[in-house]
Amino acid sequence: MAGNLFIVSAPSGAGKTTLVKMLLERDSGIRLSVSTTTRAPRPGEVNGREYHFVDAPVFLARREHAWIEQQMAAGQDILLEIDWQGAQQVRQLFPGSIGIFILPPSLEELERRLRGRGQDNAEIIARRTAAALDEMRHVREFDYVIINNKLPEAIEDLQTVVRSVRLRTASQLDRHRALFAFLEQDT
């Protein structure tokens, strides 16, 4: 039985982290793959929650995709919360992965959200907005797009994507082998 690999990407301020957290709370059948990094933890980050913080030799020795392959082979759905560049790399390793891109409803709303965080000055917000525009240009590289205008609708859309992938014929054939084997005997 094979699980699905979901990749969720978004520009800063689109609500990706909030949506992913809500999805994981509502769907016990999906697990978050925690990425590994060599950078130091930021304030409030916990090793093993946001990232696995390791030194360079450990980083080089680890092969994150081996864990993903093991989990998927056991039928577990996996979610990666990564940027568009990481999504490109993962999709080369896992061509059957499902790419989901989260967008804000407008550039004005994106800027409002970034300002509303109260963490950054005007110069940093301008840089983040420019970076977000660059990221949003890659939206066509994804299978699904969710506009995060109203949070309840956006989480429903994300759950619908997950459900629809699980209902694909290939997924159903894999999950219900005995039934399909019986049906094939009659043909």
- pLDDT value at residue 26: 97
- pLDDT value at residue 62: 53
- pLDDT value at residue 169: 83
Residues of the chain with pLDDT under 70: 1, 36-39, 48, 50-52, 54-64, 186-187
- pLDDT value at residue 86: 84
- pLDDT value at residue 50: 66
Give residue limits of the domains in the chain. Answer: 5-185
Give the CATH fold of the 5-185 domain. Rossmann fold (3.40.50)
**What CA–CA distance (Å, rounded) separates 108 from 111?**
5
pTM value is: 0.82
